Structure 1
């Protein structure tokens, strides 16, 4: 049999708050371990004759907090197993054992597995002092966060927020970066040190951007932000966006938004997509931010229409996307490997096929050209169809053969025009020529849509040069002739270098 293990809390820092029961346990224990000696109660324990061993050295020797807490857990289990039956090993932690004590959580899980009897005795938590000294009632809505593992998604401004484990300026800086995702840089926050400890307590209020510039962070430090449900903060949340779109579509909302359907907004979705693409082409981040918002609105509107019928809502859309991203990236979220982008793409395609099988479809029985959206722009659709056909071996052998095909299709177009064939026949020959040109783009590793977009931009720039030079001469293109405009066109080409 092994010794038993007792975990006690030393309270928030005031020795007068220690319970008589915990003091007796400390005095009668076979061996006492403390997480840290950096706690105001330790001096009182020494006066009471309580000898102890601390784990402070682990904080200096190990690089991360998780490794420290894992090492503390291992050490305490080893001490208990090495002890004799009837011995009681005691582990004392600041505050309350069940508040922000990772090693305690690990001991709760591992002690039963190791056959070690475990007892936990509470102590005054730093939360008790925080509620009093900072003056808020947690029943109004409260969250406790760990500065060493915060994420922006954890922060909910509508709740009173306490952030513990703010050991130093580095963890304060990490907390600040998370909070800046939700609050303005000038937002006032409160920092408390050693709350309730006579002669040591300090409470200061600072703008958020100065949070990591303060001195005095340590084991008894925390950050407090009062609950704030103001519109200013809510407008940075996805939940508020969802709420606004719902209001716009409600009977009390906007008449225009209420009248829209999937069909009426179809063209808006396409237009907003192309406006985003334009900002990418122009390398204009500020404009891109605005246009991405307009595109997101289209997604919210279509999702809201389905939410009104009870089919799905935007959170179902998000869940579906999360599920798909995780499933199709086994090299990131599973045990597969993908040393390069090509291997990652193979994984993606393989998991797409597996998804279809899970849905009762048989990918091997589907057309090799399936999966290309019907309403893609024609140039982009031709490119995707050719790529799919090439995957199953239906492709040209070399780019020279493709260029010969372009010449052949050009001759056929010339012939159709020369013979005065119907417009429909001429258009079909033109389509064949364009399709062959797309094949050439694929063989030289160019996206035909992007290639044509770049040519369009080049044309716009050169024609703008023509208009500018003509304007300097007091003319417009309508007042000029082709020869003059061609001269200016060549001038624009030369200026491009």
Structure 2
């Protein structure tokens, strides 16, 4: 006789909800195994003199639930083969076999490989009682999540969310922290225990921050987060951002947003990026968050313009970025090794070269400097061009040689100034700036950062001059250079 496992569901715990078919199988079973005896239906088995064997002892032998479920599955397969000549064995799980039952999923995978017949019979799920006792309709939008592995990325305020595996205050605390990433501390949630079981049911409606203050969690506990269309919750989702940008670009949206093109938004993208950089030197994280939002808006607008043309949308942008990050970090998401940043960069560049080859581009045939964007700010582009050239040996060997070049370029600029040729002056000034960037590179200083510091210093010192002149009741235009120079020297001492 072929080994046979019959899996049945014991329901939510109310004896009156146990199906007649399941009860008949229980009564006729030669071998009845329970995943756990921590379930209200076990009292009914005991009263009716039905023998069973539970796997609760296995829970004490392992630290992780995954190990427990693997061990239970393995033991059931052994017992099924041993009992093949005598008939089937019956395996009973709480609720419905196909709802939040990992051992059932493992058995579905492994029984065919082991030559074991598998039969599943339903029972009332805890979800049936959740819909009934908590009073929400899943057709409004519903998701079931595992509290032991809850992620912010699974949360959606527009869906009713039921969270299981919240069996003690520690797991409740983990769930609370995950929910607080999206929901405010005072957001009302519902904790239900033994729903539908007479004499044991408890329902608590509490603010989120009190979730781990409760002390009556157990194996039959769940957390329900009702769906909400509150603007403050919707506004914390990427989907809402996408919806808003779509509306702004629609015929019923904003006239200004509708008129924008890639070219008209070109300067905005650059300006917003620099405004973000400016916040890095401030101690105002709210301002930084605001400016990052402005920069993200530019990305959304450019993606939306292309979505309207049918070429790609923002989801394609996200998918492409995710795939690139996974592909270029094999030392994180694959089998490659990288023990430091330099090794990680080697991996990244090797993969970039391979990606070009797959596109039919031979990296060895490309100009060495072709990878430096033309639209970079001048100092930054000069720095990257020089760095690439230096990588193949086109570089000065000593700092003194670089300083000599700077001095030589300054002399040539002076000669151009004397010649009164604007064309020559511009060219020589460019050469001088280029040589100064080379000097910055030798000093291991980012020229853009150095320039930013100099600009900030000038801004603050000139602001001091302006402030002092105003304190005297005058305007800058009424102040001579000598006085401003004196104030400048004061500012330098501050």
TM (norm. structure 1) is 0.93
Deviation of 1:475 after TM superposition, in Å, equals: 4.5
Cα distance per residue 1:255-296 (max 9 Å; x no partner) = 112222211111111111111111112232101111111111
Give the match for residue 402 of structure 1: 402
Q: How does 1:140-289 map to 2 (within 5 A)?
A: 140-289=140-289
Contact 1:27 1:49 in 2 (8 A): no
- Give the structure 1 partner of residue 110 of structure 2: 110
SS in structure 2 opposite 1:21? helix
**Larger displacement relative to structure 2 (380-389 or 132-141):** 132-141
Partner Cα distance (2:233, 2:454) in 1: 44
Which deviations, in whole Å up to 9, do the C-alpha atoms of 1:426-448 show, x marking residues without a partner?
22112112111112222222211
- 2:491 is aligned with 1:492: yes
**Cα distance in 2, alignment partners of residues 396 and 109 from structure 1:** 66
CA apart distance, 1:182: 3.2
Q: How many residues align?
A: 494
Q: Map Cα deviations across residues 114-158 of structure 1 (whole Å, 9 max, x no partner).
A: 222222221111011111111222233222111112222222222
- Whether the 8 Å CA contact 1:470–1:477 is kept in 2: the answer is yes
What is the aligned partner in structure 1 of residue 34 from structure 2? 34
For residues 471-490 of structure 1, the aligned pairs below 5 Å read 471-490=470-489
The answer to whether 1:452 aligns with 2:451 is yes
Give the Cα–Cα distance (whole angstroms) in 1 for the partners of residues 323 and 447 of structure 2.
32
CA distance in 2, matches of 1:56, 1:392: 67
Please show how residues 412-431 of structure 1 align to structure 2 within 5 Å.
Answer: 412-417=412-417, 419-431=418-430
What is the SS of the residue equivalent to 2:338?
A: coil
Structure 2 counterparts to residues 314-393 of structure 1, below 5 A = 314-393=314-393
My pick for the range that moved more, 387-396 or 5-14, is 387-396
**CA RMSD after TM alignment:** 2.1
Separation in 2, partners of 1:105, 1:86: 25
How far is 1:6 from its partner?
2.2
Between the aligned partners of 2:359 and 2:308, the Cα distance in structure 1 is 26
Q: Which residue of 1 aligns with 2:441?
A: 442
Structure 2 unaligned runs (5+)? none
Contact (CA 8 Å) 1:111, 1:118: kept in 2 or not?
A: yes
SS in 2 for 1:381: helix
Identify which range, 467-476 or 308-317, moves more after superposition.
467-476
How far off its partner does 1:15 sit?
2.5
Correspondence 1:11-50 to 2 at 5 A: 11-50=11-50
What CA distance in whole angstroms lies between the structure 2 residues aligned with 1:57 and 1:379? 69
Q: C-alpha displacement at 1:384, in angstroms?
A: 1.2
Q: In the alignment, which residue of structure 1 is the partner of 2:91?
A: 91
Deviation at 1:196, TM superposition (A): 0.7
Distance in structure 1 (CA, Å) of the matches to 2:213 and 2:5: 41
Deviates more, 1:438-447 or 1:201-210: 438-447
Q: 3-state DSSP class of the match of 2:419? A: coil
Q: 1:394-445 CA distances to partner (integer Å, 9 max, x unpaired)?
A: 222233322222222222223333x324122122112112111112222222
CA positional deviation for 1:28: 4.1
SS in 1 for 2:246: helix
Alignment partner, residue 308 of structure 1? 308
5+ residue gaps, structure 1, are none
Please report the TM-score for the alignment, with normalisation by the length of structure 2.
0.94
Instruction: Report if the CA contact (8 A) 2:3-2:115 is conserved.
Output: no
Alignment of 1:68 onto 2:68: yes
Q: Distance in 2 between matches of 1:86 and 1:370?
A: 76
> What are the Cα deviations for residues 304-334 of structure 1, in whole angstroms up to 9, with x where unaligned?
1111111111111111111211111111122
Q: Check conservation: 1:192, 1:203, Cα contact below 8 A.
A: yes
Residues in 2 aligned to 1:52 and 1:174: alpha-carbon distance in whole angstroms: 35
How big is the shift at 1:376? 1.0
- CA displacement at 1:382 relative to structure 2: 0.6
CA distance in 2, matches of 1:72, 1:438: 67
Shift of 1:2: 7.2
Given that residues 7 and 119 in structure 2 are in contact (C-alpha distance below 8 angstroms), is that contact kept between their aligned partners in structure 1? Answer: yes
Q: Given that residues 6 and 89 in structure 2 are in contact (C-alpha distance below 8 angstroms), is that contact kept between their aligned partners in structure 1?
A: yes
Q: Does the 8 Å contact 2:97/2:104 carry over to 1?
A: yes
Query: Which sits farther off after the overlay, 94-103 or 473-482?
Result: 473-482
User: What SS does the corresponding residue of 1:369 show, helix, strand or coil?
Assistant: helix
8 Å contact 1:368–1:392 — kept in the other structure?
Answer: no
Distance in 1 (CA, whole Å) between partners of 2:248 and 2:7 is: 55
How many Å separate the matches in 2 of 1:104 and 1:289?
46
> Could you say what secondary structure the match of 2:218 adopts?
coil
Aligned counterparts of 2:30 and 2:439: Cα–Cα separation in 1 = 82
Would the aligned equivalents of 2:3 and 2:116 in 1 still touch at CA under 8 Å?
A: yes
1: distance between equivalents of 2:5 and 2:150?
31
The question of whether the paired residues in 2 share the 8 Å contact of 1:3 and 1:86 is answered with no
User: Which whole-Å CA distance do the structure 2 matches of 1:70 and 1:490 have between them?
Assistant: 76
Q: Is the 8 A contact 1:166 1:218 kept in 2?
A: yes
The 1-side partners of 2:195 and 2:149 are apart by 23
Shift of 1:27: 4.1
- What is the rounded CA distance, in whole Å, between the counterparts of 1:319 and 1:293 in structure 2? 20
